[in-house]
Structure 1
């Protein structure tokens, strides 16, 4: 009888822990039906504040197109805990190594095929080939990428995020385009000065 009681306590503790973790793992719940941006008169709220109008993106050969729909695009996503993006991959093009610090990502292929992968904190890599209708989860904060390995056909995907403002940190641009010293980059990646300079030049945006 005592063992049953102890087991019940342990199960209860685990369930409570899972509930607390789940509550902390996503955006906090809003106390309101919706949140409007500062300066917006609640009396003037209309459907337009909940609407995103698609922007036409010109398809350039060899260029990834990502159309994000996040807090910056729909302010009433504040408190909603969701956002999304549509992605267009020309043949052979990758969505380069990056991470989202504030949200997990669920990506579904809607056309073509994608090879996807993420790396966890133990250095384990999780690779998968996705066909239309297949979906894959990238846990929050994990470095990941997607690439269209098809040399002839484009690929399309939709990504959903567990936060209204997931953020994106592109690895190469952040590391080599941030102005870190050559010495730090050399020692961090164990590469030559010449290699560092090439990578810095390739990942530093030209002045406007």
Structure 2
């Protein structure tokens, strides 16, 4: 499939803007810090020790992790994310890339990235996407191949493939090497230990049977 070069350039400019102005990761102190994923980790942090710069190679800065689709989950989507294991050279650089494959009628449910803004370009298919701001205002847009959309940091957002024939594929840039992801429904109904039923009953104006049914639907 051929992508409009102007749209691709706009996507890259948007990604660079996110990294430059909206990133949550600290600024690097060196040209790069290729992650030593096999070394000891004596502290709890998103960062890991660097390997000796004299031992770095071009392979540390390239990956094919996003070249193939992954297995679908219960919502009929899969997300593959670059990380320090499949792309060690991104360590400390304050960004990540992700590929989302969304099957026919598949949904990436309302979720958030607590540490990153996200800009996505739709490579194949069509999607209904949107996010909700902190005043509960909903912004939605139907995307076609080549379209881009920005999801602000920390806000709940979704991607829905309304096409009954074709799957959808997106590539996203995120403004943190460890953006985090939390699906709202799963966090609410499958937490460990579980949120007390009376909290969910009051919050969602449902009864105990509804809470049990929803938990069962999610495998909780």
Bucket of the pairwise TM-score, normalised by the shorter protein? 0.7 to 0.9
Structure 2 Cα separation of the partners of residues 46 and 143 of structure 1: 38
Range moving further from structure 2, 50-59 or 34-43: 50-59
Correspondence for 1:180 among 175, 190, 195 = 195
Q: 2:141 aligns to what?
A: 128
The whole-number CA distance in structure 1 between the counterparts of 2:80 and 2:200 is 32
Report which of the two has the higher share of helix: 1
**Alignment of 1:76 onto 2:74:** no
Unaligned runs of 5+ in 2: 1-19, 40-50
Matching of residue 170 in structure 1 with residue 183 in structure 2 = yes
Distance 1:72 1:187 in 2: 42
Asked if structure 2 preserves the Cα contact closer than 8 Å seen for 1:51 and 1:74, the reply is yes
Aligned length: 184
Question: Residue 36 of structure 1 aligns with which residue?
Answer: 34
| Cα pair distance change 1:184/1:107, threshold 3 Å | same
Give the structure 1 partner of residue 44 of structure 2: none
Q: Please point out which of 172, 182, 201 is paired with 2:216.
A: 201
Larger CA Rg, structure 1 vs 2: 1
Q: TM-score, normalised by structure 2?
A: 0.76
Name segments (4+ residues, structure 1) moved above 4 Å: 22-25, 55-62
1:72 shift after superposition: 4.7
1:34 is paired with a residue of what secondary structure? coil
| Equivalent residues of 1:30, 1:80 under 8 A apart | yes
Q: Map 1:79-94 onto structure 2 (within 5 A).
A: 79-94=92-107
From the superposition, tell whether residues 199 and 86 of structure 1 become closer, same or farther in structure 2 (CA, over 3 Å). same
Deviations 1:106-143, CA, capped at 9 Å, x for gaps: 01111110000100000000010001111010000000
- Whether contact under 8 Å (2:35, 2:84) holds in the other structure is no
1:53 counterpart = 2:58: no
Structure 2 Cα separation of the partners of residues 188 and 57 of structure 1: 37
**Aligned 8 A contact 1:83 1:165 in 2:** yes
Unaligned runs of 5+ in 1: 1-21
Deviation at 1:56, TM superposition (A): 4.6
User: Cα distance, 1:99 vs. partner?
Assistant: 0.2
Mark the CA change 1:121 to 1:60 in structure 2 (over 3 Å): closer, same or farther: closer
